[in-house]
Each structure stands twice: as C-alpha cells, then as structure tokens.
Amino acid sequence: MDYQNIDVKPVSGALGAEIFGVDLSRPLDNRTFSEIRQAFDENIVIFFRDQNITPQQHLDFGARFGAFDIHPFAAGLPGHPEVMPVIKEADDIVAGFGSAWHSDVTFYERPPLGSILYALETPTHGGDTLFANMCLAYDALSDGLKAMLDGMTAIHSAADTYGKNSYAAQRNAAGSRSMKIRTGDDAEATMEHPVIRTIPETGRRALFVNATYTKHFKGWTKQESLPLLEYLWNHAIRPEFTCRFAWRAGSIAFWDNRCTLHHAINDYDGQRREMHRVTVIGERPYFAAA
C-alpha cells in the first residue's frame, strides 16, 4: 500500500516506525485506518507523538482493531475498566510495572493482538521502552533448531507473576503505592501455546516464548526445558532485533504482542511516570506447517 494520508518513518532496521499526520482524538476515515493497520503489520510496533486523547478516545481508536481485554490482576480506571493505568510514583521503591522482557499475558487462551500505551506523565529522562522483533529472532535460528521447535508446545502461567508467592505479592508486601495489583490462586492456571506461531496477516513465523510467562516445554520437565528456553530468551533480545522508544507526554506506542517482546526500563527513580494502556484481544496462537 502507498501511504497517502499518513507519513511512516522507520526508527530502526529491526522494527518500529513513527506515524505522522494523524490526530487520534478525531474519528479516523477508512483510508487512514487502513494505512495505520498496514504500517502496524509491516513494522509490528508503531509510535505516535503529540497526541491529546481522553480515555474514551483511546478506546475508540483501539476498537477499530478488535474487542478489549480487561486485565485480571491489574485494576482499570473507574468507569473505564478496559483502560489500565500503568503508574510508578516518584517515591516508590519497587521496580515499575513491566520491568522485564515479556509479551503481555501469554497465559491467556487468546493472548492480545496488541497493546496501545499512552503517556500522560513522563520523567525528564529515563523510562524508555525496548521492543524486540520475534519474527527476526525466528528467522535467525538455524535450520536444525527451527526443525525441532516447529510444532512444539510450551506451557505458560502467571504463577510467578501474580500468584500468592509471586513478584506481585512481594511488591505489595513492600508497600508499593503505584498500582493496585491483585494476587490469587487463579494465577496458577496453565495454558498451552505453540513455541513458534504464525502471524495471520503476513504469514510470518514468530518465536513465541518469554521469560515472564513461559515455564517449560510440553512433555519436558522444567529442568530439561530451562537451558533451551534461556538460550531462546537471550537470543530474542539480541541488539540487532530491537528498537528503543523515548517517551514524552502525548506519545503512544502500539505493539503487536504476537510477535514482539517489550521491556520498560526502570531507570527513573525519584520521578513519576503515568501511562494508560488499552489491550486488544487476539486470536488463539497457531502454527501453520509449510
């Protein structure tokens, strides 16, 4: 598609592009929306600057891509449960939400298509977000490793993140005031997903494991799985597969959660950061054999 209504400027060789010529506080005509969707599919994370949107306008934009998820463990805004505030207070002593490489909520049966994150308040410096292209990570694997991973299944769970003895539980016990995070036994549930998934719109294959939620391979013990998982986790975040986004108030990032990892860098102690996140539900992951 030739872009007529928007300008698309790549930010790295691996992934990511800034989109210019769009005011997301206003309804999008079909041509502009189609161009944004094309830029999203091609670049797998897109960025907008200098936006000024209400929670409802945030939802209006997200609704063009699908239905919304309501996070089961992190509270949404009053009156807008689909909009999750992602906050770190200036005096908070614990790491910010999302401060590790991950894909969002892959313990779901249908993990998100993507998340749309809007910056309301940002530190004067620090607080950038890193993104990694999991299609490139797959492409760079050897033919032998691809042959082994293609068709394999991994087990995902939120137990270590939101369970009763999890990181969130430790965060709450430490007195974090930044966000309201729930923990519970329901975080112990597991979900099976293909290790390599196919992206429907492009047909590309993506590595679909992450250190936060992927626990082991189906039919393998955790001890057997860990060496290969650690290799894949480290492989996926090689610098040549990544881009880095510096936030400022009014910025928006929209990433394809099916084929990216992201990492919110926790390097802004003493400064406040507030974002609003809307998450669009995706399809159940699948692997399409050649």
Taking 70 as the threshold, does the pLDDT of residue 26 lie above it? Answer: yes
Q: Tens digit of pLDDT for each residue in 159-181?
A: 988 888 776 777 666 666 667 78
Percent of the chain with pLDDT over 70: 95
Residue 13: predicted pLDDT = 97
Question: Is 216 noted as a catalytic residue in this protein?
Answer: no
Q: Which of 95, 75, 94, 93 is closest to 84 using CA atoms? A: 75
- Write down the catalytic residue from 58, 69, 102, 258: 102
pLDDT of residue 92: 83
Cβ(261)–Cβ(132) under 8 Å?
Answer: yes
Taking only the tens place, the pLDDT of each residue in 241-280 is: 999 999 999 999 999 999 999 999 999 999 999 999 999 9
Determine which one of 58, 104, 205, 256 is catalytic.
Answer: 104
User: Catalytic: 160?
Assistant: no
d(CA 19, CA 245): 13
Between CA 144 and CA 141 the distance in angstroms is: 8
Which helix (H) or strand (E) element contains residue 273? strand 273-281
Listed in sequence order, the residues at least 6 apart from 111 whose beta carbon sits closer than 8 Å to its beta carbon are: 103, 104, 105, 193, 257, 258, 282, 285
Q: Can you give the pLDDT at residue 175?
A: 63
Find the mean pLDDT for residues 233-243. 98
Where do the domains of the chain lie, and which CATH numbers do they carry? 7-281 (3.60.130.10)
Single out the residue of 180, 179, 197 nearest to residue 285, CA to CA.
197
Position 48 pLDDT exceeds 80: yes
* Phi-psi group of 44: left, alpha or beta (phi > 0 → left; psi -120 to 50 → alpha; rest → beta): left
Which band of pLDDT confidence, cut at 50, 70 and 90, is reported for residue 220?
Answer: very high
CB atoms within 10 A of CB 46: 27
Above 80 in pLDDT, residue 94? no
Give the pLDDT confidence score for residue 58 in this predicted structure: 98
Within 10 A of 118 (CB to CB), how many other CB atoms are there? 26
229-261 burial code (b ≥16 CB/10 A, e <16): beebbebbbeeebbbebebeeebbbbbbbbbbb
% of the chain at pLDDT higher than 90? 85
Provide the pLDDT confidence category of residue 229 given band limits of 50, 70 and 90: very high
Q: Name the active-site residue from 193, 258, 263, 277.
A: 277
For residue 120, what pLDDT is reported? 98
Residue 235 annotated in active site: no
Taking residue 164's Cβ as centre, other Cβ atoms within 10 Å add up to 12
Type of residue numbered 118? Y
pLDDT at 95 over 70: no
Query: Does residue 207 carry a pLDDT above 80?
Result: yes
- How much is the average pLDDT of 214-237? 98
- Catalytic residue check, 193: no
The catalytic residue among 193, 205, 216, 262 is 262
User: What pLDDT score does 49 carry?
Assistant: 98
